[in-house]
Structure 1
């Protein structure tokens, strides 16, 4: 599939649906990596691959949250959200853009299976 922009009115429901399917095991386990890109710092990896706990948008506080096993990343007042979905509908990448142009690139992948002994 292609990258698509989510309208702000979709954010809460879209990520609630993802989270529900993820918790119920309808979406396989994912690992997450978070990169931040802006003019001042350039492109920085904030957290390397680790197990994803969930993704959420809270309209009351106007915050997008990425919860990982050892890291919680909050994005205050997002202006735009783009998703890149796989053919099965699972998310490959979420890009959250703040008003100042800072981009938070959230990459998801299915962890590699350990070799059998």
Structure 2
């Protein structure tokens, strides 16, 4: 992955832009720090939204069943290729690294045992 650091003045616009493009994708959230170690907080849940609130200095990542808040973010790094966001790394005020990865939902094949339509004669 090749992360690039985002300028703080662009955080709100960045989240507004990429949230629309990512709705319906799956996301995994990993938190890594010296005091906690590496922990997976959420595994491949549907993404409902992301935002940065400048007034409260807060990043919110909303997944189906999980509302992950990152207070006092110091740095945000994005890994994106050709306009597609692959991952974010958000470093908070306690030096915890919150890594959010994105993926398309798995498309399942049709059921094998589905009944075949009959033709009328």
TM-score interval, smaller chain: 0.7 to 0.9
1:49 aligns with 2:44: yes
Moved over 6 A (4+): none
TM-score by length of structure 2 reads 0.85
Report the aligned-residue RMSD. Answer: 1.5
Aligned to 2:4: 4
Q: How many residues align structurally?
A: 111
Larger radius of gyration: 2
Unaligned runs of 5+ in 2: 112-121
Residue ranges of structure 1 left out of the alignment (5+ in a row) = 24-28
Counterpart CA distance in 2 for 1:48 and 1:65 is: 17
Q: Tell me how far apart the structure 2 counterparts of residues 21 and 92 of structure 1 sit (CA, whole Å).
A: 12
Q: Does 1:114 align with 2:108?
A: yes
Provide the residue aligned with 1:26 in structure 2.
Answer: none
